[in-house]
Amino acid sequence: MQSLDPFVFIAVFQEMLGPMLWVLLLLVIGGTIAFIALLLKEKHIVSQRLVNSQLIGLVGGVLALILMAKVSSSGFTDAAGPIDWLLIAGVFGLGLIGTTILSYTLSGWLKPHSCSR
């Protein structure tokens, strides 16, 4: 493979995740836009909402690991080298961050914070 083609990645992820790939991509794009809009609206981060979202994010990290185990042909017992464990940590971290941002955004739009300044 002489060059890096992004369409190869799309094809591989489409093969692994099926239609769930597009649902996840829409969730990421829509969640990011909603998060930015919420930050622009509130002009600050609400600390209590962030702490609660981080706790929910831990569950999202675990769910990301479960999804990774379901769509790959290997399990956690097959992880041999440091790069395998780095990939597992990266998947957990991305699941944690994504779920934290989505839960912060959802709770911000559903239950707005009243600021007494």
Query: What are the φ and ψ backbone dihedral angles of 39, each rounded to 5 degrees?
Result: -65, -40
Q: Give the Cα separation of 95 and 12 in Å (integer).
A: 20
Q: Give the Cα separation of 96 and 32 in Å (integer).
A: 15
Position 117 confidence tier, pLDDT thresholds 50, 70, 90: very low
Between 26 and 17, the more confident residue is 26
Position 76 confidence tier, pLDDT thresholds 50, 70, 90: low
The sign one gets for the Cα dihedral 37, 113, 31, 39 is positive
Q: How crowded is residue 14: how many other Cβ atoms within 10 Å of its Cβ? A: 13
Is the pLDDT reported for residue 113 higher than 70?
Answer: no
Helix axes 82-110 and 20-42, enclosed angle (nearest 10): 50
The CA-based angle 70-74-77, given to 5 degrees, is: 110
